[in-house]
Chains A and B, each alone.
Chain A
């Protein structure tokens, strides 16, 4: 406890002579990314994801979405898959699809999940202007599904796309920031894992998933 009190009192002493900076105004803040008011959010989201080496697969029906997922899994000869509980996916029938394809669902430990060829998740929402997915951890929503397997497949309905990070924060503010208290891990995912450590030369596919696939389901009506 004494280190804590020493540090806090040293900081208080430092500020005793007055604030180091003039008291800043609290005018509304300008959002960072440019986005035209009439810009199509879906089109922008798709373009941004592709820019950061993710793939968006658009589906006009649940059936088509399941066919896309089936194709992604069979193309990669997946034998094991980890996934969020179906209650947290915007699309039913994934468990049945895995059964049909003879794919084992793994989820009990990190070691088991690490053997999966793909992880299937939903997403809380998506940010159009940066091509970002927002995932919060919770019951039936393991964080490893978007992290350990080499392929991450996220299923999302179009109505979950908001313009910018600032809009997502404003929406959470309206909910009294509840998600940041109830979920121990919220992750913003923008594209496939990458590095520029070697001579600042961009390389995709480092420690996180090598491939990011977003199955985007068009809203009916």
Chain B
């Protein structure tokens, strides 16, 4: 936990500078996000009605959030009726504690893990390893990240920051794989390595994509089969979910799971949609003997009471990451915590507290590509603006910034002042600009702009002058 939060404390601008200079990262991001965006657009366009479906999915999430505590209780009753157990954790530390206790209770020495972002919030792997438990991430990308000692940089494609060349070198150095540039050969190699891990594991830990309250079923979504293997083969299955993952009905599941697949990877359905209702029944031939569902709050109940409640509607498809011009350039690690990209810029400050990630709400041009990509219509740019407002109200800006914005506001409220100001700025910048119409240097506080790029002089005639001329002509 601590090492992750400390990464947030690193200056965001510094992480960005490093990311932009990393050629390997830039190559990987270009290749990955481009494919991701086009796959999603194609898959959404061939549905019955993309706009109507996104609204339908949104309403399914709203229905759930409106009744969250009731649905969680219903879910709990049904999981127990199915023979499972339900445990609750207020925060990250308690989550790790609860799972450690389960490991001790069942004498667990080896754990296989299906992909779970929520356990990244608590750095669960480190907590288990500190107690001598071997943890193996089983998702291909997560496994490679674990080998490299890194953290995921994308919600769905954890190793999006790595090129295939870097992946091959890593597998060669750590596991002796013959060098290749073919993802097919790397994948087959890891399959071989992982096989025995599944059979040796005592416990499988997974995330939860949706928890269907009316039957106490948890749904996981995956393509590789690692999640199925991780949670079906060992004696004990522990599923971890945030409180917001519960949904009311199977009809809601049908629309959400399909929009998740189309938005995340451009598939009509993911390869394996696993629906787990408790442990194996006494007459069933295989499957885990024990099933535990751990429900984590970790700040979510606090968000529900605020105007940011709709951030809890997120189904973690990662579409907003791929679509975001900022993410496309800096990748996931620069965001500093578990959830990167546009949704991460909202969720991280909300979950960690605004002072832990003060720059993230500004890591957006507010272009709206994220909202256009979101399968549950989350108004991401609006919330980023509101978070900026909160930061200002909490006293984030410097006195100079505050005075500047005050003056700006006064000028904007008065047409005469605005006209005067824009004339002055136009005249000044044109006088100071070089032959090409650019200023190489601006005085403080505007030198932030010219530190990395030239500033174009304002054009003449101004928009207002042109508009006035046009209006008189017609």
Q: Which residues of A contact B (CB under 8 A)?
A: 3-4, 6-8, 10-15, 17, 19-25, 29-34, 48, 52, 107, 110-111, 113-114, 127, 129-132, 137-144, 147-148, 165-166, 169, 172-173, 177, 180-201, 203, 205-209
Contact B277 A20 (CB under 8 A): no
A21-B62, A189-B272, A199-B164 are known contacts. Are A142 and B225 too (CB-CB below 8 A)? no
Q: Is there a chain A Cβ closer than 8 Å to B371's Cβ?
A: no
A7-B90, A187-B273, A207-B194 are known contacts. Are A29 and B251 too (CB-CB below 8 A)? yes
- The residues in B between 177 and 220 inclusive whose CB is less than 8 angstroms from any CB of A are 183-184, 186-188, 190-191, 194-195, 198-199, 212, 214-215, 217
Contact B157 A200 (CB under 8 A): yes
Q: Which of B68, B199, B280 is close to A11, meaning CB atoms less than 8 Å apart?
A: B68
Q: Is there a chain A Cβ closer than 8 Å to B351's Cβ?
A: no
Contact A142 B285 (CB under 8 A): yes
- Please report the C-alpha to C-alpha distance between residue A21 and residue B223 in the assembled complex, in whole angstroms: 33
Contact A139 B215 (CB under 8 A): no
Residues of A within 8 A of B291 (CB): 184
Contact B199 A30 (CB under 8 A): no
Q: Is there a chain A Cβ closer than 8 Å to B269's Cβ?
A: yes
Q: Which residues of B contact A (CB under 8 A)?
A: 28, 31-32, 35-36, 39, 46-49, 52-53, 56, 59, 62-63, 65-66, 68-69, 72-73, 81-83, 88-90, 94, 138-141, 144, 157-160, 162-164, 167, 183-184, 186-188, 190-191, 194-195, 198-199, 212, 214-215, 217, 223-226, 228-229, 232-233, 243, 250-251, 253-255, 257-259, 262, 265, 267-281, 283-287, 291, 295, 297, 301-302, 304-305, 309-310
Residues of A within 8 A of B82 (CB): 181, 184
Contact B255 A21 (CB under 8 A): no
A7-B88, A184-B82, A206-B140 are known contacts. Are A172 and B250 too (CB-CB below 8 A)? yes
- Please report the C-alpha to C-alpha distance between residue A4 and residue B89 in the assembled complex, in whole angstroms: 7
- Please report the C-alpha to C-alpha distance between residue A21 and residue B62 in the assembled complex, in whole angstroms: 6
Contact B286 A142 (CB under 8 A): yes
Contact B305 A17 (CB under 8 A): yes
- Please report the C-alpha to C-alpha distance between residue A119 and residue B265 in the assembled complex, in whole angstroms: 28
Q: Which of B59, B228, B284, B305 is close to A187, meaning CB atoms less than 8 Å apart?
A: B228
Contact A207 B28 (CB under 8 A): no
Closest chain-B Cβ to A52's Cβ sits at a distance in Å of 7
Contact A198 B286 (CB under 8 A): no
Contact A10 B268 (CB under 8 A): no
Contact B271 A190 (CB under 8 A): yes
Residues of A within 8 A of B195 (CB): 114
Contact A177 B47 (CB under 8 A): no
Contact B90 A3 (CB under 8 A): yes
- Please report the C-alpha to C-alpha distance between residue A131 and residue B270 in the assembled complex, in whole angstroms: 11
Contact A14 B304 (CB under 8 A): yes
Residues of A within 8 A of B225 (CB): 147, 193, 206-209
Contact B186 A198 (CB under 8 A): yes
Closest chain-A Cβ to B383's Cβ sits at a distance in Å of 13
Closest chain-B Cβ to A11's Cβ sits at a distance in Å of 4
Residues of B within 8 A of A141 (CB): 284-285
Q: Which of A8, A19, A29, A139 is close to B285, meaning CB atoms less than 8 Å apart?
A: A139
- Please report the C-alpha to C-alpha distance between residue A192 and residue B268 in the assembled complex, in whole angstroms: 14
30 contacts between A and B (CB under 8 A): A6-B90, A7-B295, A10-B301, A11-B304, A14-B304, A14-B305, A34-B48, A127-B269, A131-B268, A138-B284, A139-B283, A139-B284, A144-B232, A166-B254, A177-B214, A184-B83, A184-B278, A185-B275, A193-B272, A194-B223, A196-B35, A197-B144, A197-B157, A198-B140, A198-B141, A200-B157, A201-B183, A203-B184, A207-B229, A208-B229
Residues of A within 8 A of B277 (CB): 180-181, 183-186
Contact B48 A31 (CB under 8 A): yes
